[in-house]
A and B are shown apart, each in its own frame.
Chain A
Amino acid sequence: MSAGQQKLLAAGLIVCVLTLPFALFIAPADAVQGEAQRLMYLHVPAAWSAFLCFGAVLVASLRHLFIRSERAWAVARAAAEAGVLLTALTLLTGSIWGALTWGTWWAWDARVITTVAMGLVYVVYLTLSGLVRTSRGRQSASVIGVVGFLTVPLVHFSVLWWRTLHQPPTILAPSLSPPIDPLMGVALAAAVLGFTLLTAWAVGYRAVTLREAATRGVPLPEPKLPSTTTGGELLRR
């Protein structure tokens, strides 16, 4: 791990530890929802970090499309992996929160439909990028990495474009005074910062691991490929 990555990890961990007392004790519980509202400090940062990851997939995929950068290819895959995990965490925490305050674990409203679709698009991206063997294949996967980003505004605006069970946005809405208690706002901002730092670290770390595995030439996942260098393998490098 490089010195920069170590600092990123340390900063992320420190912010998350400092967030805990705010999220658990200092910020008040919501007047209507009670203690369950504290799930916000997991649910919102998870969703935000997933959006960031898919933004990274977009940028890295564009970079790979234009300059065929090996590094960008690894970053795109690493960010997509983190983004899918964070989308799953968003749905999980959302489901628990919904059970506690809405009175239902799952409601197929537009927010949930688009969020599940977003996750699936990046599962498609990841499986495809793991299957392709040629440079053209990688370019096609990168196109999905670019176009897939359309799902991010779809998820964010779903609660404004359609009638949903999920409430409209509190923070990223055109309002100068978000309707949130200031101490809740502090806890939420800290949690978002902590998640962002840890996600950036995880994506960077994972990208290096993927890159090392690729340059060592170890991963020939399918045993059917001949061990001698083939045209396809050359293209893959």
Chain B
Amino acid sequence: MTDRARPSWITSRTARLGLLLAACAGLAGLGVAAADDGMSYFRTPSELVGTTQPGDSVRLGGMVMPGSVVETVEESTMTLTDGATDVTVSYPGRLPDVVREGEGAVVDGTLSEDGVVAADQIVLRHSNEYRAPAEVTP
């Protein structure tokens, strides 16, 4: 047991078998989850229309339409668009800092009777562009 290449806790046969089984179980779990929910992380506004009933929970993604953000302390709203369809999203309180007009956002929420998605979580989906902040000309 003086194998200095590998520490003993990981060279024990039991530990390796345990880790092997855990990794296989993890892979199987990921596979089942992916087959169950699909690999799409969110739905687009166009996909939402007609396929979702009021009361259903949805994860909706799109671009925050410039000029659509209305923030108050009690409730804020914004419009998510995929270019073809617009969906209004409401959020209790002020929007999280990650929401930016013209950038992507993904919301978790519930579709209400009036077609508005009442969001309880909003995350940013940023683009693949990396730019320096615009120079402030004096």
Q: Which residues of A contact B (CB under 8 A)?
A: 28-33, 37, 40, 101-104, 107-110, 113, 116-117, 120-121, 123-124, 127-128, 130-131, 158, 161-165, 167-170, 173, 179-181, 183-184, 209-210, 212-213, 218-219, 221-223
Contacts and interface: CB of A to CB of B under 8 A. Distances in A.
Contact of A104 (B103, B123, B133): B123
A189 B133 CA distance: 21
A123 B23 contact: yes
Contact of B11 (A107, A184, A221): A221
A170 B128 contact: yes
A33 B20 contact: no
Interface of B: 1-6, 8, 10-13, 16-17, 19-20, 23-24, 26-27, 30, 33-34, 39-42, 44, 61, 96-98, 100, 103, 106, 121-134
A32 B102 CA distance: 11
Contacts of A218: 2-3
The CB with the most chain B CB atoms within 10 A, among A31, A130, A212, is that of A130
A219 B5 CA distance: 9
A109 to B, nearest CB: 4
Given A102-B98, A110-B39, A222 B24 contact: no
Most buried by A among B3, B33, B97: B3
A209 B5 contact: yes
Contact of B130 (A30, A131, A223): A30
Contacts of B129: 170, 179-180
Given A108-B33, A128-B20, A163-B42, A33 B126 contact: yes
Given A163-B41, A170-B128, A131 B13 contact: yes
Nearest to A206: B5
23 contacts: A29-B133, A30-B130, A30-B132, A31-B131, A31-B132, A31-B134, A103-B122, A117-B27, A117-B30, A120-B23, A121-B27, A127-B20, A127-B23, A130-B11, A131-B13, A131-B17, A163-B41, A163-B61, A179-B128, A180-B129, A183-B132, A219-B6, A221-B3
